């Protein structure tokens, strides 16, 4: 079956389901380059035309999209992503949603569409013989009393199951909601910080997981609102506590074969896996402004709060940037690399695409993987780390953006359109932050004079 035939079949199934289940409105979803979910709704009578021709909209009002003189864009729904929104299912008429690919008026893929960036990365992997780029991100988040201040609901800790954990029912309802959206969940638990939680999705292929990550974030927020709470994916909302990360498990497959596994290697890692990890380590500083995209991200990426800042890999050491979980016999397909530096506020399409490109670059150019470091990197002095050849991530958004601005790899991964706009936006964000005068500065420096 051709791609066109498959799309036509899926479109027919969506139209039939809309009719059978009395779906009145369909929300068309896409993201701007910062990873903010955008949406507009159409009625069921418009759906057939939308699936065939797409729906026009003004792209000049979307962050990072076109200038006003080039504003006409087309949102083409992807019928494989159709789902009914559980938080609207109790109404008389149901509401569905589909992710969209953004096209230019002449129906070419729009280079400013983050979903297209992910598609291009996966196509490069396919050309190199890899059919699947499997991802399993673990998104952490905080649950607060409201969106007005970071006021915690409990004082629970890691894996706590006590009366302190008032989020148990909330997490249960999140699982039910995600399941209804077609997103299977592996497990849920209370995280290290007070009022901090984690719900882990089962792994999926690259584009689907980027879509699932966007869905996860809005679903968690919707469930929190129904419980009278506010969920935030802000990386570091609480001073003195751990921030929220998005540890991301990755593997490449050729058909059903895990290209990362080698039974004869001392680490059970293939040459492909080693080069892939080496690529991500070599380019980690350049990617930082994508996987840690905000001023606040770098308040999480500091030693002492379980966030990895040192560019190294390990099997058991969670202070390293990339961890390779220990192999268990019979679990060859589970061989994977877990990169621990991303945070859940990032644009998943751009982040996953850039991570894939960095790994593929390592494979293509035959990067050598250094020896693993099993010592706690936080316990080493800076001089000791330098002697071991261990670099560290940028310490601020400003430093990260300038690293990215010099990166040929990231420019190729994102395309010139998104690359230049993203750099400009992040430079503006850093400049705006630099001129702020914080309460900490007033308290510390006002008495000095």
pLDDT surpasses 50 at 69: no
Name residue, tokens 């006409």.
72
pLDDT value at position 161?
64
State the CB neighbour count (10 A cutoff) for residue 89.
13
Contact by Cβ (8 Å): 299, 408? no
Q: Please pick, among 115, 120, 190, 247, the residue that the annotation labels catalytic.
A: 247
359-369 tens-digit pLDDT: 999 999 999 99
pTM: 0.94
Catalytic site includes residue 441? no
User: Residues 126-152: what's their mean pLDDT?
Assistant: 95
pLDDT value at position 201?
95
Catalytic site includes residue 262? no
pLDDT value at position 403?
97
Top pLDDT among 354 and 307 is at: 354
For residue 198, what is the enclosing H or E element? strand 196-201
Q: Please pick, among 138, 173, 200, 403, the residue that the annotation labels catalytic.
A: 138
What average pLDDT is seen over the chain?
A: 91
Contact by Cβ (8 Å): 93, 25? yes
pLDDT value at position 160?
66
Contact by Cβ (8 Å): 338, 249? yes
Q: Please pick, among 32, 154, 262, 338, the residue that the annotation labels catalytic.
A: 338
Catalytic site includes residue 140? yes
Catalytic site includes residue 222? no
User: Residues 341-350: what's their mean pLDDT?
Assistant: 97
Q: Please pick, among 32, 154, 165, 198, the residue that the annotation labels catalytic.
A: 198
Residue-wise DSSP of 89-122: TTSSSEEEEEEEEEE-TTSPBPTT-HHHHHHHHH
For residue 123, what is the enclosing H or E element? helix 114-127
Confidence of residue 164 (pLDDT cuts 50, 70, 90): low
User: Residues 332-347: what's their mean pLDDT?
Assistant: 94
Catalytic site includes residue 399? no
CA distance 276 to 269: 10
27-52 tens-digit pLDDT: 999 999 999 999 999 999 999 999 99
State the CB neighbour count (10 A cutoff) for residue 84.
18
CA distance 199 to 355: 22
Q: Is the dihedral of CA 201, 205, 211, 214 positive or negative?
A: positive
Cα angle 305-308-312, degrees, rounded to a multiple of 5: 150
pLDDT value at position 449?
65
Q: Please pick, among 78, 165, 191, 200, the residue that the annotation labels catalytic.
A: 191
Confidence of residue 163 (pLDDT cuts 50, 70, 90): low
User: Residues 99-120: what's their mean pLDDT?
Assistant: 94
- Could you give the percent of the chain with pLDDT greater than 70? 95
Confidence of residue 331 (pLDDT cuts 50, 70, 90): confident
Length of the chain: 449
User: Residues 144-159: what's their mean pLDDT?
Assistant: 83
CA distance 183 to 315: 29
pLDDT value at position 205?
97
What is the dihedral angle through the alpha carbons of 151, 157, 162, 165, rounded to the nearest 10 degrees?
A: 30
pLDDT surpasses 80 at 376: no
pLDDT surpasses 60 at 162: no
Q: Please pick, among 78, 140, 343, 361, the residue that the annotation labels catalytic.
A: 140
Catalytic site includes residue 338? yes
DSSP conformational letter for 61: G
pLDDT value at position 191?
85
226-243 tens-digit pLDDT: 999 999 999 999 998 989
168-227 tens-digit pLDDT: 889 999 999 999 999 999 989 888 889 999 999 999 999 999 999 999 999 999 999 999
Catalytic site includes residue 198? yes
Confidence of residue 308 (pLDDT cuts 50, 70, 90): confident
Domain extents for the chain? 3-107, 119-440
| Span 119-440 CATH architecture | 2-Layer Sandwich (3.30)
pLDDT value at position 433?
97
Nearest to residue 250, comparing CAs of 260, 242, 240? 260
377-428 tens-digit pLDDT: 777 777 777 777 788 899 999 999 999 999 999 999 999 999 999 999 999 9
Q: Please pick, among 171, 197, 249, 340, the residue that the annotation labels catalytic.
A: 340
Q: Please pick, among 6, 52, 53, 58, the residue that the annotation labels catalytic.
A: 58
pLDDT value at position 330?
78
pLDDT surpasses 70 at 11: yes
pLDDT value at position 366?
96
pLDDT value at position 90?
61
The class that CATH gives domain 3-107 is alpha beta
114-136 tens-digit pLDDT: 999 999 999 999 999 999 999 99
State the CB neighbour count (10 A cutoff) for residue 432.
10
pLDDT surpasses 60 at 68: no
Name residue, tokens 């400009």.
424
């Amino acid at each position: 079956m051709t791609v066109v035939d498959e799309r036509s079949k899926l479109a027919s199934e969506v139209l039939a389901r809309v009719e059978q289940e009395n779906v009145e409105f369909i929300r068309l979803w896409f993201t701007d380059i910062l990873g903010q979910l955008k949406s507009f709704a159409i009625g069921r009578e418009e759906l057939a035309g939308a699936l065939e021709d797409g729906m026009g909209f003004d792209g000049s009002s979307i962050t990072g999209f076109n200038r006003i003189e080039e504003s006409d864009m087309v949102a083409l729904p992807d019928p494989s992503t159709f789902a009914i929104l559980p938080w609207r299912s109790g109404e008389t008429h149901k509401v569905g949603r589909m992710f969209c690919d953004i096209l230019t008026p002449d129906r070419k893929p729009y280079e400013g569409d983050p979903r297209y960036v992910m598609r291009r990365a996966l196509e490069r992997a396919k050309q190199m013989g890899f059919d699947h780029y499997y991802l399993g991100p673990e998104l952490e988040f905080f649950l607060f009393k409201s969106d007005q201040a970071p006021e915690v609901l409990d004082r629970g800790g890691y894996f706590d199951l006590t009366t302190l954990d008032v989020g148990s029912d909330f997490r249960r309802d999140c699982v039910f909601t995600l399941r209804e959206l077609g997103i299977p969940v592996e497990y849920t638990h209370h995280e290290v910080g007070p009022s901090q939680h984690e719900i882990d999705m089962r792994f999926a292929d690259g584009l689907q997981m980027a879509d699932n990550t966007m869905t996860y974030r809005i679903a968690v927020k919707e469930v929190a609102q129904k419980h009278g709470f506010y969920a935030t994916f802000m990386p570091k909302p609480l001073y003195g506590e751990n921030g929220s990360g998005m540890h991301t498990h990755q593997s490449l497959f050729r058909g059903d074969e895990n290209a990362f596994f080698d039974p004869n290697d001392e680490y059970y890692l293939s040459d492909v896996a080693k080069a892939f990890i080496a690529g991500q380590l070599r380019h980690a500083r350049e990617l930082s402004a994508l996987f840690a995209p905000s001023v606040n991200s770098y308040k999480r990426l500091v030693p002492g709060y379980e966030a990895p800042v040192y560019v190294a890999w390990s099997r058991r050491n969670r202070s390293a940037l990339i961890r390779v979980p220990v192999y268990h016999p019979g679990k060859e397909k589970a061989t994977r690399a877990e990169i621990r530096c991303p945070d859940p506020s990032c644009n998943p399409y751009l982040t996953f695409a850039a991570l894939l490109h960095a790994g593929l670059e390592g494979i293509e150019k035959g990067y050598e993987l250094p020896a693993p470091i099993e010592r706690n990197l936080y316990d080493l002095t800076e001089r000791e780390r330098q002697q071991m050849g261990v670099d560290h991530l940028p310490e601020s958004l400003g430093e990260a953006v300038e690293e990215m601005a010099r990166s040929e790899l990231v420019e190729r991964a994102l395309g010139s359109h998104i690359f230049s706009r993203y750099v400009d936006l992040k430079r503006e964000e850093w400049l705006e932050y630099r001129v702020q005068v914080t309460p900490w500065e007033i308290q510390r420096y006002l008495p000095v004079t």
